[in-house]
A and B are shown apart, each in its own frame.
Chain A
Amino acid sequence: MKMLRDTRLMFVRNMQHTLRNPIFIIVSMFQPLLYLVLFMPLLNGLGSVPGIPAGRTVEIFIPGLLVMQALFGSAFVGFSLIDDIRTGVVERFLVTPVSRPAILLGRVLRDALVLLIQCILITLVAIPFGLSVNVGGFLLSLLLFALIGVTMASLSYGFALIYKIEDPLAPTLNTITLPVSLLSGIILPLALAPIWLQDLAKINPFSYAVDAARSLFAGNFMNFEIVEGFVIIGLLALVLFSWALRSLKKMAS
């Protein structure tokens, strides 16, 4: 009960922060929008390639693009936490009996909500480009994107709590997000990849998320990929959140 109330307090505090500069919700959508406008036409020009049946480029590309937004959009939230560490805000929270998980939950839930707003906006923008989407599948996929957001945000917060300064944070996060996105078939389908690359992608949890999102957008609910994606990302979110929580508890030392 206490944890719920504390989480709500923390969520509201963080949401107020975001809403003081709502423009950044839009600004951090630029990357996927640019891919949509400047890159997707190239894919269209390829015609039929393995993994992208002719005429279905948008339906394959957009779910991947949303996973990309979930990966990159949430990966850098740790910087805001470093700001709070430096100004003593986190310490001020920690001297109160506030539930420790609530401090982080209030942040990752805010991050997930911001991400969902972005995913919905990007999807709306993609409709004029010919996107048709199964509504039920889309709503379910939002849950998946939220889980990816929680995963990446936890990762980012975990490192922020360990480093406590900005400098090493960006290189660390780039080192993780770039291979993870290359190995998930977001930009080009992994069906194009040589076997060794496909095998490598199999150990990347986010490649399962991309597969699951594509099945959901297409409305193939019987596809086992969907369950696989939810379970893998759900577990990863849990593990990374626990890791970040441990870093928070150890922060002062």
Chain B
Amino acid sequence: MVEDTVIKTKELRKTFISKERGGKKEVEAVKGIDLTVMKGEIYGFLGPNGAGKSTTQKMLSTLLPPTGGEAKVLGYDLVLEQEQIRQNVGCVSQAGGADLSATGLENLILQAQLYGLDDSTAKKNSAELVESFQMSSFIERPAQTYSGGQKRRLDVALGMVHHPRLLLLDEPTSGLDPQSRAFLWEEIKSLKARGVTIFLTTQYMDEADKLCDRIAIIDNGKIIVTGSPEDLKSNVGGDTIVFSFSSDEIAGKAKTLLVENIHLENIQAKDNSVYLNARDGERVMPDLMRSLEAEQLEVQSVMLSRPSLDDVFLKYTGRSLREDERKR
């Protein structure tokens, strides 16, 4: 294995036996996935609810024994070297896991002690996290009094208290208000800057897009595509550019001009506007503008939109992640 590989899975698989009327039924939650996460990156694990994300994270954190396949985390075997993995990996589950009747500080110190740190190191690490996560104003209050954002900050800090080399984060911003999300995103970026590798499970496309160096999209227990958000999006197709004019007539002329002079395909005119698809939209747009204006076709407004990860999901699954979200 390459030294810089932090997570490497091969055909990792989890099958649950669920008891139902009429006997037992096998449920394949994770159907054999191959993952490679490199040192220092934020790796996004994106997919709708029930795709097998949390099951995968639970396997990687040694909570769930895999049914098949193999995996190495930080070079340790997932099945044979659980203790070493636990000692060096931080894990924040969806539920969080803060003890609500205890104060945030009590939670942090105990968690550090459970990782085997002596009392003074446990206190020192906790104090550092309180400082860097800006929690000093509330950390001595019982956690049940915290706002959603404050509690989430504590949850993430609990996963960092023993200075792990790898942090597994399961849906860290789900249910948070936009401000708290933005704050947590900054925190996650600063953890990366400190050299922590982050495996981030999420169902939010914007989160995966903004934070992650590379992502794997998982659906129905299988990884359907992996790559950097930029690559994935540009593979879907180019950017969409929209020029708006004062009338349909001018828009029609503009379309003709662009087709004849510049040989663009995938071009449509409707509602006073011309829609076209182009790779590297921001580069070609000024040229297009100039050739339009050279013919006295006055552009009233321009819009450039990039493909989103939702377009990526749509391309590979035929469904929209947004639709999945809306159904709930």
Contacts and interface: CB of A to CB of B under 8 A. Distances in A.
Interface of A: 2, 6, 9, 13, 16-17, 20, 84, 86-89, 91-98, 252-253
Interface stretch (B42-50, B97-105, B123-131, B210-218): B97-105
26 contacts: A9-B113, A13-B99, A16-B102, A17-B101, A87-B96, A87-B98, A87-B100, A88-B96, A88-B98, A91-B93, A92-B96, A92-B97, A92-B111, A92-B158, A95-B61, A95-B63, A95-B86, A95-B89, A95-B93, A96-B111, A96-B115, A97-B114, A97-B115, A97-B116, A98-B114, A253-B16
Q: Contact size class for B?
A: 20 to 34
A87 B97 contact: yes
Given A9-B110, A94-B63, A252-B63, A2 B96 contact: no
A97 B83 contact: yes
A20 B101 contact: yes
Interface in B104-161: 106, 110-111, 113-116, 158
B114 A9 contact: yes
Contacts of A6: 114
B62 A253 contact: no
A46 B136 CA distance: 66
B91 interface: yes
Contacts of B247: none
A52 B270 CA distance: 100
A146 to B, nearest CB: 25
A86 to B, nearest CB: 7
Given A16-B106, A92-B91, 20 more contacts: A2-B116, A13-B99, A17-B102, A20-B101, A87-B95, A87-B100, A88-B96, A88-B98, A89-B98, A91-B93, A91-B95, A91-B97, A93-B114, A95-B86, A95-B91, A96-B86, A97-B114, A97-B116, A252-B64, A253-B65
Contacts of B190: none
A92 B97 CA distance: 6
B58 interface: yes
A10 to B, nearest CB: 8
B72 to A, nearest CB: 18
B114 A88 contact: no
Contacts of B63: 91, 94-95, 252
Contacts of B162: 96
A240 B230 CA distance: 55
A94 B83 CA distance: 11
B145 to A, nearest CB: 14
Contacts of A13: 99, 102, 110
Nearest to B109: A9
Contacts of A95: 61-63, 86, 89, 91, 93
A87 B86 CA distance: 20
A210 B93 CA distance: 45
Contacts of A96: 86, 111, 114-115, 162
B87 interface: yes
- Most chain A beta-carbon contacts within 10 A, residue among B63, B91, B113, B114: B114
A120 to B, nearest CB: 26
A89 B97 contact: yes
B82 to A, nearest CB: 8
B131 to A, nearest CB: 22
Given A95-B61, A95-B91, A252-B63, A89 B99 contact: yes
A19 to B, nearest CB: 11
A176 B105 CA distance: 40
Contacts of B110: 9, 13
Contacts of A17: 101-102
